[in-house]
Chain A
């Protein structure tokens, strides 16, 4: 809740007319230079959140602040957010240079100043040689760079990116991911990027905001989201997860469909139901039987990805997913005690 936050949402609530969809009581802020990646399933309100900050939609209640100023009632134009649209929305009749210089032109910045500023921006995104091309003559990745340059050239108060990578092919997507990060850092601008791709979220974000049904479920660093998800939804949505329902059997053991799991002290009374999370890469394939939390297992699915294998196994009455670099057959798995996390059961 720093006072210096570039973007701040306070109890932001918005409901679409005649529907249950919207954004409900969202509060978070973006520090200068910080990149927040908003992730959630489709229909969870990611784009709505962006539109509320940009001003395309107005809050029913709550506040939006940009650079400390309350802009809840301000027009899109006066909010001065740089937006990269999913479709890029480059002006088809203008050259690359004209597109990038457009925000300066409507601000009546003299031509003599427009030139160098747009050129510097094009240089930053690596498109100096393309200034006289039309958008239709560029590849998807290049169009993306132009859109980014155009959104940053007027020194916006925030940079908002709406699924910027979804229209690109897989190889370009990884390159552009790094490019966006580099350019965003270089401009030191508070940024919100919307995606439904968890790899994108984990690799790009300073912090991830997980959205579900219009509500922010968790806002935290990628490591925290991955290592300490607040609930099963977050655990399942970011990264792969084994969610295991069980019943407390002693202070540090839980009866599960896999069998009795030794855990860290869980604090629940005997007989209470507990939901457990075990990340697949924390489960160890084990050649020999015997030892704590070692279970006999049978392979159901075995997918090979080169560096890793993702294997699904039946264990006792249940099943478990594991991720391992190990080749060869697997007859037992070991679930280390520290790898078992507790999630709320709601």
Chain B
């Protein structure tokens, strides 16, 4: 009985703020009352009409997509190299190294970026690519962790040896065996990376230029205005993050049902 109580209380505590945001975004007037009065869609319309929010929305999407693409492009070969390293000490060291950014506060990373990239030799502060570069640093450890553990779980090395002995060349092994076998972990790694990138505030707030501020950075401004507007803007961020997660999960399930190559009918 008591565990159930605690669970219920915790769930309420977890859901209530988000539920209130949702309610607030449709509320007409919300001053010193527990719940807002009146219902309206005007806040969403206002957010949608606001040029800085529109810009931030597409900036966030662009940054998230580019971060995901780069994580695959950099992370997959890197994960493979770590996994295939012959020396177990090299493997252990590599794991510690690529996990380091997890322990590093995003704020510290941002200060480092400011120091390096505000100089005359590397004057890139404010560019969207620098923002993406930072998001890659923050997201890559999670991507690598997911993919490397999956490689070990699958016994990828033996699978490749098997494919080798069955007559496939290096490219065929990669396309037929490595990629399809890893598709689940690549996708779940990307879900984490996308969610991280979309919700990231600390680093983006300091690094993004005025014209490519991401959604969470602009969202902060909303809380200086009307409550309903702020709620609506936050709900949109939530929807954005959820869409990324659900899309990832669905495509992972979809990929499962696709035949990997032509079986005769």
Contact = CB atoms under 8 A, between A and B. Distances in A.
A1 interface: no
B260 A93 contact: yes
Interface stretch (B63-71, B173-181, B245-253): B173-181
A105 B165 contact: no
A81 B260 contact: no
B164 A77 contact: yes
B181 A91 contact: yes
B262 interface: yes
A24 interface: no
Given A91-B159, A92-B154, A97-B263, A83 B181 contact: no
B263 A98 contact: yes
A111 B259 CA distance: 15
A103 B167 contact: yes
Given A56-B161, A93-B183, A98 B260 contact: yes
Given A91-B177, A106-B172, A83 B264 contact: no
B167 A107 contact: yes
B167 A87 contact: no
A169 to B, nearest CB: 21
B155 interface: yes
A80 interface: yes
Interface residues of B, number: 25
Given A91-B159, A111-B262, A115-B264, A82 B165 contact: yes
Nearest to A102: B166
A105 B261 contact: yes
B174 to A, nearest CB: 13
Interface residues of A, number: 34
A154 B154 CA distance: 25
Contacts of B155: 87, 89
A93 B168 CA distance: 17
Contacts of A105: 261
Contacts of B183: 93
B165 A154 contact: no
Contacts of A76: 161, 164-165
Interface in B32-78: none
A89 B260 contact: no
A85 B162 contact: yes
A102 B176 contact: yes
A154 B167 contact: yes
B161 A102 contact: no
A114 B180 CA distance: 21
B18 to A, nearest CB: 37
B237 interface: no
Given A85-B158, A89-B161, A80 B264 contact: no
B44 to A, nearest CB: 42
A158 to B, nearest CB: 11
A101 B181 CA distance: 17
A184 to B, nearest CB: 17
A54 interface: yes
A79 B164 CA distance: 10
A77 B158 contact: no
Nearest to B164: A76
Contacts of A154: 166-167
B169 interface: yes
Contacts of B168: 77, 102, 106
Interface in A34-72: 54-56
A87 B260 contact: no
From B159, B162, B177, B183, residue with most partner A Cβ within 10 Å: B162
A93 B158 contact: no
A80 B167 contact: yes
Contacts of A77: 164-165, 167-169
Interface string A193-213: 000000000000000000000
Interface in B98-116: none
A67 to B, nearest CB: 16
B162 A83 contact: yes
A92 B178 CA distance: 11
Given A91-B159, A92-B181, A115-B264, 9 more contacts: A77-B167, A83-B161, A83-B162, A89-B159, A98-B263, A103-B167, A106-B167, A107-B167, A151-B166
Which 6 A/B pairs are nearest by Cβ-Cβ distance?
A89-B162, A103-B166, A106-B168, A115-B264, A93-B180, A89-B158
Interface of B: 154-155, 158-159, 161-169, 172, 176-177, 180-181, 183, 259-264
19 contacts: A56-B161, A77-B165, A79-B165, A80-B167, A83-B162, A85-B158, A87-B155, A89-B159, A92-B181, A93-B260, A94-B260, A94-B261, A97-B263, A101-B263, A102-B168, A106-B176, A115-B264, A131-B263, A150-B166
